């Protein structure tokens, strides 16, 4: 399921009050807990993750980790009474996993629930969809397939000049880095497709809001142009 560009996998349960998801693993009686995607995108790029030294039964709503981004600091709270059996220590070294894979490699903890009967606060994707859509619109949350390292706002500039600046910026970036370009040039959708074909760098997403076009592009390690530059 997708809500205004924000993914909402239907294979897990959600606690909107605590902004977490709960995914029962198929064997072993364990489950993974992670942060809700829209919260991740509202927070911006995460800079640090620290785990609390909890042991034994941890009550519903108790904090098991603290996350900090450029504009958000908060706790990751359990949606069930459970014992923490594993912590995703990869997040300590690379907090960006929370942004790039909130429903995958960005999981926070694995737990063993104290009861097979889950609390009513855990709901299906279909049950939370309308409330989550209201939150996304109210908070003007924008979800992208990859967290951008930089946002370029180039307003009132012709697309040819914008592309020159984009090329210069990508030249300074590492392979795999993403840049969000915002422009009001009406020809930009066509020009950006052509640019991607000519440079071999991938255009990950395009969104239009009023007169503004937003493009998420990624610098490829080995770009393969699909079209020769004109002229």
Q: What is the pLDDT at residue 170?
A: 95
Question: Quick one: pLDDT at residue 149?
Answer: 85
**Cα-flanking dihedrals φ and ψ of residue 221, to 5°?**
-70, -40
What are the residues whose beta carbons fall under 8 Å from the beta carbon of 210, sequence distance 6 or more?
none
Give the pTM: 0.81
Residue 89: per-residue pLDDT: 97
Enumerate residues 6+ apart whose C-beta is below 8 A from 128.
8, 14, 16
pLDDT at 193: 96
Neighbours of 229 (CB within 10 A): 10
pLDDT of amino acid 88 = 98
User: Residue ranges per domain, the chain?
Assistant: 2-138, 150-218
| Domain 150-218: homologous superfamily in CATH | TusA-like domain (3.30.110.40)
> How would you classify the pairing of strands 57-58 and 178-183?
unpaired
pLDDT mean values, one per 10 residues, the chain (231 residues): 90 97 92 95 92 92 95 96 97 93 96 93 97 93 85 91 94 93 95 96 94 96 79 51
pLDDT of residue 146: 83
CATH architecture for residues 2-138: Beta Barrel (2.40)
The pLDDT value recorded for residue 228 is 64
Ordered DSSP codes for 156-204: S--HHHHHHHHHHHHHTSPTT-EEEEEE--TTHHHHHHHHHHHH--EEE
């Amino acid at each position: 399921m997708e809500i205004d560009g924000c993914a909402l996998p239907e294979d897990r349960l959600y606690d909107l009050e605590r902004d977490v998801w709960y995914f029962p693993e198929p064997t072993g009686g364990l489950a993974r807990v992670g942060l809700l995607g829209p919260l991740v995108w509202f927070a911006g790029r995460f800079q640090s993750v620290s785990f609390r030294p909890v042991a034994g039964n941890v009550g519903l709503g108790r904090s098991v980790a603290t996350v900090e981004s450029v504009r958000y600091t908060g706790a990751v709270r359990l949606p069930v009474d459970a014992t923490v059996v594993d912590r995703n220590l990869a997040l300590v070294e690379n907090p960006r996993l929370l942004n790039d894979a909130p429903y995958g490699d960005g999981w926070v903890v694995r737990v063993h629930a104290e009861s097979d009967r889950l609390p009513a606060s855990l709901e299906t994707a279909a049950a939370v969809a309308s409330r989550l859509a209201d939150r996304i619109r109210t908070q003007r949350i924008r979800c992208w397939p990859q967290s951008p390292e930089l946002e370029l706002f180039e307003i009132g500039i012709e697309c040819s000049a914008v592309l020159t600046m984009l090329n210069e910026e990508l030249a300074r970036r590492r392979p795999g880095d993403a840049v969000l370009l915002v422009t009001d040039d009406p020809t930009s959708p066509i020009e950006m497709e052509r640019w991607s074909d000519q440079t071999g760098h991938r255009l990950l997403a395009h969104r239009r809001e009023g007169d503004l076009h937003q493009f998420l592009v990624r610098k490829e390690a080995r770009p393969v142009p699909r079209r020769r530059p004109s002229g």
